[in-house]
Structure 1
């Protein structure tokens, strides 16, 4: 054996799995096809939203809670500021389905929150152009995550703990044997007791056919706009946000650089419905439809932003058929553990997912309540 555990892909989830595994074992190797936090991975885009008030399956909430503590651990271990607490706003029609569903989710999970009326919103957050029937759910523990900094810090921490990191080493295949897992890159091979596959949009190449059939690599589009008054959109004054009104949806983050505000369409026209068979050739340029859609929404929602896209980019991520991740062993006898398929919404919980993957792959702990993300839910397809 070359080591107990290999982690393939050191992006959003793999970097965190490597860091967590390095705290549990001194026999861990990470494989990265390029370099950690490289510009073409799903890590790209500078920031991601962290939210405790979350419109999703309540079973995610314990992972979000664990992730929040682990982000603080990573900051303490590396001296890096990764999660900036800004608060978070979810804006929609009062008594509409979006707000009603959010409040039902908070009732089940117990997430701290308060409801802000249109008048309270206009007073506290005048950056938003509100409709007469708007209100917001405020999340005091929400914030903005620095993606590149997070991944780089996790890999550095893993190295400091004794993990080996192999950069510019794309994995061509993984083969299970009676005694371990053989990992091949070019003309080199290694053998490990267990392997975690966490290579995002590139994971399909290493999957069995039944999981290839229920996954697709999709394109995620991000856009930025210039603030006319950068101070009004600073992290101190402008919480992360998501907004839904009819077929118009937008989410974003404050101007962490003091100038540009991330404001990106969230829905069918943001590219998430667009399959990209080759993650190495994701179209980076926005279509005319994409430009018009996001510009139109930003013009209405934010009079304080210049309604011209000043920066945009697109990144690949692996989506599953049911939009829940693949987190667990390929099957009950497998030595290959999946940590992929996060469907464009994994980064906020990356530390929690990394913790689960590392502990389960190294046999330290099995986490209950995760049947909805286990890969074997697709085994009968």
Structure 2
């Protein structure tokens, strides 16, 4: 006998969506969270995340984004919550420069709807941005700002309404695959499930086999907010989400969804940190100085004083693509983590994929770029293993997905 068909470990950006989707497929689903859903120390923190259909990079993400957009609307309809503020989005950079050239190459491949805005167009439509002489923008009509806290709590509530069981303040310390299923423990308590999805963000690394630990790294992401000189100019109706890269300066941000503060944050400043539990929350003098210098140039309508800042951990992979799939083809342990600072926009679709595959309802092709086996390495044994020694590269032959530490998992 087991305690259920599926356990989802970690109810953050991906785990909450996996739980919601799994609850649509089974009435025997349980979610475990070390603290509470949307707690302030996880990668969910920071109020908003950008949703964009236009981006630079792997075109394989586009169908994931399309399905994610549909699922965000379904979550809103199911819960009555306004989660995605649909305000459009701007990608700003040098005309023919590397940023916009790469972005437009991907956009032409995917066929995403877009509009190129000249410097004059921008001055007329979005004068909040102080552009350099050679800047242009690409407008994404389907972009917007995702309300992170609201999204996670809505997904968890929807899962509960579908019959899912939730255990909060229950850190998971070990996960072991056995002949009966997957044994998970929290202190002296234990449960056995037919399958488990691990969605613990940076805390997942502690429970990974060695080859995946070596392919991942926790990084500190910081966010900053400002007050506008004229708040009416930075509402979602007038100020789309944006990403701007120009040689020595880069920034992204979102409108004042709270009616007061505008998010404007340096892009690409994630720094390695050894422990997700001890991420420095305060910004350094250099981080503050660069942020204020950049916002002063890019957005002169914002008062150049930080009114709020914070920092959060997120798990990055070597190739910046997530880990989504079973540890081995016959494993009952499925991981959905390592989203490298860019997972929230796709969280609904990745959660749907994880739920369907972990429950054995369906599988999905075209996802080799996110499968964990891409980081597998062949192990050369210089001498035979001693009898009954089942440890190979941190993953026991019995299927243990565990760690020597007993620290909590988010």
TM-score range, shorter chain: over 0.9
2:196 maps to 195
1:151 maps to 152
2:374 is the alignment partner of 1:377:
yes
Deviation at 1:179, TM superposition (A): 2.4
Provide the C-alpha distance between the structure 1 equivalents of 2:340 and 2:100, rounded to a whole number of angstroms: 23
1:117 maps to 118
What secondary structure sits across from 1:231 in the alignment? helix
2:25 maps to 24
1:321 aligned residue (318, 323, 327): 318
Equivalent pairs counted in the alignment come to: 377
Provide the C-alpha distance between the structure 1 equivalents of 2:21 and 2:202, rounded to a whole number of angstroms: 22
Provide the C-alpha distance between the structure 2 equivalents of 1:377 and 1:233, rounded to a whole number of angstroms: 43
Deviation at 1:56, TM superposition (A): 2.2
2:8 is the alignment partner of 1:7:
yes
Unaligned runs of 5+ in 2: 379-410
| TM-score normalized by the length of structure 1 | 0.98
Provide the C-alpha distance between the structure 1 equivalents of 2:116 and 2:318, rounded to a whole number of angstroms: 33
1:63 maps to 64
Residues 19-98 of structure 1 mapped to structure 2, 5 A cutoff:
19-98=20-99
Deviation at 1:247, TM superposition (A): 2.2
2:336 maps to 339
Moved over 3 A (4+): none
1:217 maps to 218
2:178 is the alignment partner of 1:181:
no
What secondary structure sits across from 2:262 in the alignment? strand
1:304 maps to 301
Unaligned runs of 5+ in 1: none
2:238 is the alignment partner of 1:237:
yes
Query: What is the aligned-residue RMSD (CA, Å)?
Result: 0.7
CA deviations on 1:166-213 (whole Å, 9 max, x unpaired) are 000000000011221000000000000100000001001111111111
Provide the C-alpha distance between the structure 1 equivalents of 2:57 and 2:162, rounded to a whole number of angstroms: 35
Deviation at 1:332, TM superposition (A): 1.3
| TM-score normalized by the length of structure 2 | 0.91
Provide the C-alpha distance between the structure 2 equivalents of 1:25 and 1:3, rounded to a whole number of angstroms: 10
The answer to whether the 8 A contact 2:175-2:184 is kept is yes
